[in-house]
Amino acid sequence: MNSIQYRKIQVEDCNIFYREAGKADKPAVLLLHGFPSSSHMFRELMPELADEFHLIAPDFPAFGQTQSPSREQFDYTFDHLARIIDKFTEAIGLSHYAMYVFDYGAPIGYRLALWHPERIDAIVSQNGNMYEEGLGKKWEARKAYWQNPTPDLRCQFASAYALETIIGQYTYGTPEGSVGPDGYSLDYYYVCLPERADMQDDLILDYRSNVALYPDFQKYLRTYQPPLLAVWGENDPSFIPAGAKAFLRDVPSAEIYFIPSGHFALESHHSDIARLMRDFLNRVLQ
């Protein structure tokens, strides 16, 4: 079954939307999206791998088609999102899996690895950072905000949801004409839904919790030595190539590849990434 199926499941007070492709008896791969995207970012990758793998891609609370409570009833933090995704994997019966982590999906996935190292068969990191040296220059302003989170600075970071900013995330550093408008147009639609911008503001502030956990994420790698493939859009201004190279410090067997693209490398190079993933996963999941 190479076609994608679209499903929902209730996890606590969240109605989680997810995409599923491939047969359940194949090796499982959990696909964790980034900001300000959703499982839609995997729409072209999943059919390319569904003949050999069982692929599951949820939308996080505050993203995509997942329905979640208001900020008064739900803490929009990375730890809470990871707890929901952890329970999602249990609800659909994933006892062990490889995971593809990107952007915001990385600190969510790395938390799952900390909590359940026995469940993680392999990691594919596509611009999914866990090293200080992997943070681009834009993070200097965010670090200043984390130290002094004033209402004025919170308002300034609302520019992250402007259409031109989202378009820039998709197109910066990519070959001209290689990125269609569908992904960034859909992302903009989602961030304009009621309360979504405020939820995202909460997550921008809470990203400091991810950086604080970098040493723990790195210790996990050193301790468990998971098979690791880093496929990095080399022109990404957010998570720069040094973050990919740093994996070798903790997992000397890590495989590192650079793609001539930007942050959303799947938009322009999904076939290249699928080929690298197929080769890697077929070797390490035997």
Q: What is the pLDDT of residues 210-258, one digit of tens each?
A: 999 999 999 999 999 999 999 999 999 999 999 999 999 999 999 999 9
Residue 2: pLDDT band (50, 70, 90) is: low
Strand partners, 135: 239
For 127, left (φ over 0), alpha (ψ -120 to 50), or beta? left
Residue 157: pLDDT over 90:
no
Query: Across the chain, what does the average pLDDT equal?
Result: 96
3-state secondary structure (DSSP) of residue 234:
coil
Over the stretch 104-137, which tens digit does the pLDDT of each residue have? Answer: 999 999 999 999 999 999 999 999 999 999 999 9
Beginning with the edge strand found earlier in the chain, give each strand of the sheet holding 228-233 in spatial order.
Answer: 5-11, 14-21, 54-58, 28-32, 97-101, 120-125, 228-233, 255-259
Tell how far CA 275 is from the center of its chain.
Answer: 19
Summarize pLDDT for 160-200 with one digit per residue, the tens: 889 999 999 999 999 999 999 999 999 999 999 999 999 99
d(CA 269, CA 120): 26
Domain annotation for the chain: domains and CATH numbers: 5-284 (3.40.50.1820)
- Distance, in Å, from the CA atom of 114 to the CA atom of 112, rounded to the nearest integer, reads 5
Strands (E), the chain: 5-11, 14-21, 28-32, 54-58, 97-101, 120-125, 228-233, 255-259
**Residues with catalytic function:** 263
Q: Which residues, including other chains, have CB under 8 Å from residue 243's CB and lie 6 or more apart?
A: 127, 129, 130, 131, 133, 134, 135, 232
Instruction: Say what the pTM is.
Output: 0.97
Query: How far, in Å, CA of 69 to CA of 15, rounded?
Result: 10
Phi, psi of 197, rounded to the nearest 5 degrees: -60, -40
Q: Using pLDDT thresholds of 50, 70 and 90, give the confidence band for residue 6.
A: very high
Question: Which DSSP symbol is given to 136?
Answer: -
